[in-house]
Structure 1
Amino acid sequence: MRDFQLQGRSAVFAENGLCATSHPLAAGAAIDILKRGGNAMDAALAGAVLLGICEPQMTGIGGDCFLLYTRPGSDDVLALNGSGRAPAAANAAHLRDQGLDIVPPGSPHAVTIPCAMDAFCHLAETEGKLGLDVILEPAIHYAEAGVPVAPRVAFDWANDAATLQGTARQDYLFDGQPPRVGQMFRSPGQAEVLRRVARHGRDAFYTGEVADDMLAALQQQGGVHQAEDFADAACSTETPVSGSYQGMELVEHPPNGQGATAILMLNILKHFDIAGMDPFGAQRVHIEAEAAKLAYDARNRFIADPDHMSHLQHMLAPETAAKLAALINPGRAMAAAAPLSEAVHKDTVYITVVDKDRMAVSLIYSIFRGFGTGIASEKFGILLQNRGSGFTLEAGHPNELGGNKRPMHTIIPGMLRQDGKVVMPFGVMGGAYQPNGHARFMSNLTDFDMDIQAAMNAPRAFSDKGVLKVERGYSDKVRQQLADLGHRVEIPPTAIGGSQAIRIRSDGVLEGASDPRKDGCALGY
């Protein structure tokens, strides 16, 4: 039990249903949907779409999503890939010929076809109970009436405002400035798009006036997107991947997501006595940072569109982890692995819902960098993601930009099973940090027996492009010890990621937690 004289927050306990996410209005909307007879999928979709209005710098209908979920009474975890493909005419050689060595994140070349809306419509029809019109009601209402800008949202908005270009500056700035805390943000154009989708389904987004509006914004800047690219957008069902750590099974979304990286990292950490270390000491940070360098190097080499990669089983194999663990020197930091292949930013939202029938949904949804490309459609104000900057321009690489390919994605939903039973949907936001975050969260739970709220509150560190970012929650003594081990240590200007989780307890009660690094909360009934 936490010390109630110290700063912190308690987990939330409920019996009938629970939602945890990064904004209170979205959590409240999800619980309202459950009370109206919706299931966990209805609630998660309603909350997710609303998050695009509450946190427009993080996500929106111009983005992508991934889901893991269960059906009532089942412990089988299902995966849905709601990530979009590059337009058919995309060509890495064309960009290389322009002297580019990365896909420019603020250009139309970085825009893959947004697929979250197709995924949401598909899931509302196949897994939900209430229908799109009810699910989209909260987002339509708040897009029209407005949302007061929350503190963390205002902080991120100011940091990312320079990304906005053209008409996006009219839609997402206030007299040319980011909003103040409490200022009302409205998006009537998006409200109209959602009304059309509620009436006519996914085709209202991917064909006709809405699609034409997105196409015009892209083509005006030199994008090679065509109407057929939007019309053909489609989510897909996938088979999850999994690994075990300290008696717990970690279930991850398969590539093109980076979930296999978390499994590889935990497999490396198995070769060290993490539980025997100080949970907030330098030795644990050091070993974890070294494991991350190796796991992320494998990610950068191998993870891509599954139709173009062949080393997934190699990444998941125990012998691969054993060989990598042998490279770690407990007394000295290794040189940084190759730079991450995507432009690292930490702009994602996550929502998890469990209902009275114990259907569990783990949903992550993003436009990638803050405000995506910064390009918005003129009529409806739809911000377009820059997931295409997750491609590499290296010729012959499995993740090389190409027509109709999906890029390597940073967003990963998680699910934990124990003794074959699903016990926790969870997610850790934070761009490239997410696999490291999954491994750290799971280690906090199993190696140090933390409750889920304490496991989120705990300070974080992340080895990122040759810099070991160490949050202020660690002491100066720990930072000095890490520097003495050879790490280049910095305190990051922004908190590392965010997280949400719901534990399905053996006594039938639900326990929800929400990361204090965000504005959100867990709510139940």
Structure 2
Amino acid sequence: YSLGPNSQGLATLQQLNIMERFDIRAMGFQSAAAIHHGAEAKRLAFEDRARYYADPSFYDVPADWLISKDYAAERARLIRPDSILQTVFAGKAPTRGDTTYFTTADKDGMMVSIIQSNYRGMGSGLAPDGLGFMLQNRGEMFALTDGHPNVYAPAKRPFQTIIPGFAVKDGAPWLSFGVMGGDMQPQGQAQIISNMVDFDLSLQEAGDSPRWRHGGGSEPTGEVTPGTGLLHLESGVPAATRKALVDLGWTIGESDGSFGGYQAIERWPGRYAAATEMRKDGVALAY
């Protein structure tokens, strides 16, 4: 489960739906094939993010279609195992009328997933007199192109990136988690789920595992970066995997520290597991 528009939560679900069409487990943990298919799923999902995610009070976001299994199958058919998609576009919808994350759970099985951000550093830099907090400036994420679903309008909420994550297994609450970091959030969430489901990693191992982050493509602000973008890999990704990704045509970016921040609680029968991020400040506490 994730948040719908005007947030970017659908991107996690879209990525996972596309990845589900492939046998990621058989490709191998931290293999070039697994990263390649995950990154291509991200590129496809983010084109839809740029095209369709906006305030549903002002725009009829085709959310059900975007997260449908049929649409995921259609998008997955675009991915080639031996080459990069040189151009990616948003799907054609059918016509119709600085972040802080934490999660907590109690003895009764209640789990809460929360994320908060002022956006650009200190937000707007303005603080209401006597209240002690900064106002956010997420209005920066509006598009200024006439006709764009996310174009600025009075009383309209801009596209925004903050998405607390929650997952169920067999219909029961399973995972309350988040990965901080702007565009990294849905990419990181999809990798966490894949690490646990496809590769049987534990809650902490899923977060400690080396991550990838793809940058480039279209943005909900209307900006477009041409080409196939940069695939950033953490230093722990094997050298053989890096070479194989280059051979597939990926341009590898620096390991620049922009791989998010992860916190999670996993529910087991009668108990919990908790995990925290090794990349930045974080703590897992039991009481």
Q: Same fold (TM over 0.5)?
A: yes
- 1:511 aligns to what? 273
After superposition, the C-alpha distances for 1:438-460 in whole angstroms (9 at most, x for unaligned) are 11111111111111000000000
Q: Deviations over 1:300-336 (max 9, x none)?
A: 1111101213311120111211111111111111236
Verify: 1:461 aligned to 2:212, yes or no: yes
Q: Is the 8 A contact 1:495 1:517 kept in 2?
A: no
Report the CA distance between 1:386 and its aligned residue. 2.1
CA distance in 2, matches of 1:424, 1:377: 35
CA spacing shift, 1:524–1:253, aligned 2, 3 Å? same
Matched, 1:488 2:231: no
- 2:203 corresponds, among 446, 452, 457, to 452
Q: What residue is the counterpart of 1:281 in the other structure?
A: 31
Q: Contact conserved, 1:472 with 1:491, CA < 8 A, in 2?
A: no
User: Structure 1, residues 416-474: CA drift from partner, whole Å, max 9, x if none?
Assistant: 11222112211111111111111111111111111100000000001111111111111
Counterparts of 1:452 and 1:349, CA distance in 2: 19
Counterpart check, 1:427 vs 2:178? yes
Contact between 1:505 and 1:511, CA under 8 Å: does it hold in 2? yes
Q: Secondary structure at the match of 2:262?
A: strand
Distance 2:105 2:144 in 1: 41
- Return the structure number with greater relative CO, CA threshold 8 A, min gap 6: 1
- Report the residue type matching 1:512 in the other structure: A
Q: Is the 8 A contact 1:460 1:471 kept in 2?
A: yes
Matched position secondary structure for 2:84: coil
Q: What is the identity, as a one-letter code, of the residue corresponding to 2:168?
A: R
Q: Specify the SS of the correspondent of 1:522.
A: coil
- Assess if the C-alpha contact under 8 Å between 2:8 and 2:160 holds in 1: yes
* 1:523 aligned partner, one-letter code: L
Q: How far, CA to CA, are the matches of 1:431 and 1:456 in structure 2?
A: 17
State the match for 1:417 in structure 2: 168
Measured at CA, do residues 360 and 378 of structure 1 come closer, stay the same or move farther in structure 2, by a change above 3 Å? Answer: closer
Q: Is the 8 A contact 1:470 1:489 kept in 2?
A: yes
Letter in 1 for 2:160: H
1:502 aligns with 2:265: yes
Helix, strand or coil for the counterpart of 2:183? helix
| Contact 2:175–2:267, Cα closer than 8 Å, also in 1 | yes
For the structure 1 residues 360 and 285, does the alpha-carbon distance in structure 2 shift closer, same or farther, using more than 3 Å as the test?
Answer: same
Secondary structure (helix, strand or coil) at the match of 1:286 reads: helix
> What's 1:57 paired with?
none
8 Å contact 2:188–2:259 — kept in the other structure? no
**C-alpha distance in structure 1 between counterparts of 2:101 and 2:66, whole Å:** 26
Which segment is superposed worse, 328-337 or 318-327? 328-337
In 2, Cα distance between equivalents of 1:360 and 1:437: 20
Q: In structure 1, the residue corresponding to 2:285 is in which secondary structure? A: strand
TM-score normalised to the size of structure 1? 0.49
Q: State which of 65, 70, 82 in structure 2 corresponds to 1:314.
A: 65
Check if 1:479 corresponds to 2:242. Answer: yes
Kept in 1: contact 2:181–2:258 (CA 8 A): no
Letter in 1 for 2:145: E
Aligned match for 1:295, one of 41, 45, 51: 45
SS in 1 for 2:18: helix
Please, which runs of 5 or more residues in structure 2 have no aligned partner?
91-97, 217-228
The 3-state SS of whatever aligns with 2:165 is strand
Question: Residue 390 and residue 338 in structure 1: after superposition, are their counterparts in 2 closer, same or farther (change >3 A)?
Answer: farther
Q: Quick one: distance in 1 between partners of 2:245 and 2:120?
A: 29
Question: Following superposition of structure 1 onto structure 2, how do residues 102-121 of structure 1 map, counting pairs within 5 Å?
Answer: none
C-alpha deviations, 1:331-372, integer Å up to 9, x for none? 111236479xxxxxxx21100000122211100100123222
Structure 1 pair 378–424 and aligned structure 2 pair: CA distance change class (3 A):
closer
With the length of structure 2 as denominator, give the TM-score of the two structures.
Answer: 0.88
Paired residues in the alignment total 266
| Structure 1 unaligned residues grouped into runs of 5+ | 1-250, 340-346
Distance across 1 between alignment mates of 2:51 and 2:141: 13
Please state if 1:394 is matched with 2:145: yes
Distance 1:349 1:378 in 2: 21
Instruction: Note if contact 1:352-1:361 (Cα within 8 Å) is conserved in structure 2.
Output: yes
Q: Is the contact between residue 303 and residue 309 of structure 1 (CA under 8 Å) also seen in structure 2? A: no
- d(CA) in 1 for partners of 2:89, 2:180: 23
> Does the 8 Å CA contact 1:471/1:495 hold for their aligned counterparts?
no
Aligned to 1:329: 80
Q: Which structure is larger by alpha-carbon Rg, 1 or 2?
A: 1
Q: Where in structure 2 are the equivalents of 1:3-402 lying within 5 Å?
A: 251-307=1-57, 308-335=59-86, 337=88, 347-373=98-124, 375-377=125-127, 382-402=133-153
CA distance in 1, matches of 2:76, 2:87: 15
Q: In the alignment, what sits opposite 1:403? A: 154
CA distance in 2, matches of 1:293, 1:319: 18
- Structure number with the higher helix fraction is 1
Q: Aligned equivalents of 2:73 and 2:280: distance in 1?
A: 36
Distance 2:121 2:27 in 1: 36
**Partner amino acid, structure 2, of 1:352:** T
Distance in 1 (CA, whole Å) between partners of 2:133 and 2:22 is: 47
Q: Deviations over 1:254-275 (max 9, x none)?
A: 2111111111111111111101
| Structure 2 residue identity aligned to 1:468 | L
Tell me which residue corresponds to 1:226.
none
Shift of residue 491, structure 1, vs aligned partner: 2.0
Q: Distance in 1 between matches of 2:71 and 2:89?
A: 18
**Are residues 1:523 and 2:285 paired?**
yes
Whole-angstrom distance in 1 between the partners of 2:234 and 2:147: 38
Supply the distance in 2 between the matched residues of 1:288 and 1:357 (Cα, whole angstroms): 36
Which residue of structure 1 aligns with residue 233 of structure 2? 470
Instruction: Give RMSD over aligned pairs.
Output: 1.8
Report the alpha carbon displacement of residue 378 of structure 1 after superposing the two structures with TM. Answer: 8.1
